[in-house]
Amino acid sequence: MQVSFKLGLRAQEIALLEIKEVARLKVSGADFKLLEVMSLPAAYTKGADAMGRSTTQYQRQSISFTVDAFNKMIRQIEAMAKAGAEIDPEDFYPPVRQHKGKSRDLPMVDSELRDALTQYLKLRIEKAGKLKPSSPLFISQKGGPYSPNTLQEHMALILRDWAGVEKASSHSGRRSLITNVIHKQKKSVKVAQKIAGHVNPSTTLIYEEPPEEILEDALKNL
């Protein structure tokens, strides 16, 4: 939760984190030094499949064409039909846009975040004896790395059922952080975009919409 609310990472990014992203282990693997900056690889970002650990598979729900591309496709189908060729609709789907991801460096300056990570890593070492730099940072009850989907479910459970935050999701911490940066700290959208790791600034501009607290205040003071 500290990583989500203080660094704004997506659930998939948190699931893929390894020890080396937050700490430098001593030679024995039984001690560590917390890093000042988390360097998040581009492979961890939304849509990525880092080291085959994310099993999310893209499935088309809809497709779209420009008018010119659609007309060209129809002419091709007509020509193939006249020639008696077999027609497979999937051959005419537009290519899937590949998400390249964006790496980002996030200073780990918040004291509560650092305390939480320090205590957690001490507990991991106490239980395991030693750790490897490539060990997953967060592990499930079974002892292996979290899948993004399972982590999403667990984070939502903690926020909704344990903390009582209505309509919360694994994205709540990220949304809260970006909204705070723009609305409360009055930082530029460029700063928020850098923290969020959005490739397109238009995605960050969504967070310029008034947050729920402002709407609530406006309705309260009618």
According to the model, what pLDDT value does residue 101 have? 62
pLDDT reported for residue 136: 94
Q: What is the pLDDT of residue 50?
A: 53
Mean pLDDT (10-residue bins), the chain, 222 residues: 95 94 89 94 69 49 82 88 85 69 87 97 92 93 90 95 93 92 90 89 84 84 80
pLDDT at residue 58, as a whole number:
47
Q: What is the DSSP string of 66-123?
A: -HHHHHHHHHHHHHHHHTT----GGGGSPPPPPP----EEEE---HHHHHHHHHHHHH
Domain locations along the chain: 13-54+96-146
pLDDT at 73: 86
Residue 91: predicted pLDDT: 82
CA pair distance 110, 104, nearest whole angstrom: 17
pLDDT for res 57: 45
